[in-house]
Structure 1
Amino acid sequence: QQLYAQPRSQLPPEVQQALRDSTGSHIVVLTAVTPDPSTSDGARQILSQIRSQEVPGGDVLVTGETAIDQDLVDFVLDHVPAAVGFVIATTLVILFLLTGSVLLPIKAVLSNLVSISASFGALVWIFQDGHLAGALGFTPQSIDPAVPVLLFATVFGLSMDYEVLLVTRIQEAYRATGDNARAVVSGLARSGRLITAAAAIMVVVFLAFASSQIVLIKAIGLGLSLAILLDATLIRALVVPSVMRLLGDANWWAPKPLRWVHDRLSGRSIA
């Protein structure tokens, strides 16, 4: 304020030129410089302090990498709950129409969220905390807001694909035998190699992305490969069959109104 209050004729020539370049009749442009990276907590704190300033008779507007990144994060946080809710609700409905079960769609969504959450945790540990920065050749930094969005959409879709392959084989065996325990064993045996082969191909493809020198692509590739590896080896091969074995015939239960809806749409009973 003292700088702008002084007569410009008393200022050094280079300062006068800088003021002419940064001021207009209704605007003043100021540059905030910080040694911190644009996505660091320090830079975001400075951004928050600037935006909290009140100028009588005017508005404070901020641009730059930090402001754009923060605006993107805020936008994602505002819209992600609705998007995630839509995906989960749609998945529950489609899986119910496929299986006629109430519990299996819920179990499928929860198991998918486990895989996704584990991949998010791994990315934070690797890229944000920087535990493998030396081995992977990058500088520790905050995770780009686009990464979790892309990971959620891709991993949820691929994981649900494996879930459908497994559950439909188990359901076919259950309809044929009426024995849930035997159906789980038969379904896993019939679909296990297919799921493993499909997952192995995807892991190799995503690991190729992880070799990129661009941190964003590296994070997406590594996150996807870890999520698919975990999903195929632990979730689909161990957790899902174990849960279905423990649930027994309750796997295929549905309230009478929903059972009627499923039977009318599919033309056959649950079992």
Structure 2
Amino acid sequence: MKIQLIRNATLWLEYAGLNILVDPMLMDAESMPAFPNTPNDLRNPRVSLPDIEPDILNPDLLLVTHTHPDHWDEAAARQLRKDIPLICQPGDEHIFIEAGFTNVTPIDVQHEHQSIQLARTSGQHGTGEIGERMGNVSGFVLEAAGEPVTYIAGDTIWCEEPAEAIKTYNPEVIVVNAGGARFLQGDPITMDGPDVAAVKRAAPSAHLIAVHMDAINHCLTTRADLAAYLASEQLDGEVFIPQDGESLEFGGKA
């Protein structure tokens, strides 16, 4: 199995013979204003798409955890072929259908796509009133013969839902959205250093990958910050923190 970070939370997975594009944010650098009520006015995304080998406009499957604009944008809706199978969370399907996509499947609990078993997980995109206002978010667990069980957690903080997903599915590869995104008020709405450390301690044998950093204006935890925090917690080198365009490969089950 190969997983490549494109930018932010956009991933390219080569899994069970399929090319899977996750949470495509394809707009040019600085195409979008800063998110409102955030600590700076830097335009988004902060960086351009990397120069990469895969043709990310022609995946075999689209996987969209939720439709905030740093996970699904107008550029993706415009550029991607409309007949690509697209899997999403319940309640989001009308967004893709209205954009012209013709093969949209919302997953409530589980779904089988060719040889891949997918299960939807939930999370909390922040705490309190802000968390409620951020709406529903999902993650997905992928399983296939000969491939590592892979959990893409989506935009969630460390809380009961991802903890339960780890206990239920015992994933061998976990991708978390870090960056400590936040507004001027309230707690982080994505994982920060302590959250990532908690995931690693909950799943010590899993390959843990942290993404969603250095691309969006209110993601205040940088890659360097996360690496420094993990080192201070004696977790130096225990979490993969890929650069944009970087690929990682993991073996599957016998």
Instruction: Indicate the TM-score class for this superposition, using the shorter chain for normalisation.
Output: under 0.3
From the two aligned structures, give the one with the greater helix fraction.
Answer: 1
Choose 1 or 2 for highest CA Rg.
1
Query: Quick check: which one's strand share is greater?
Result: 2
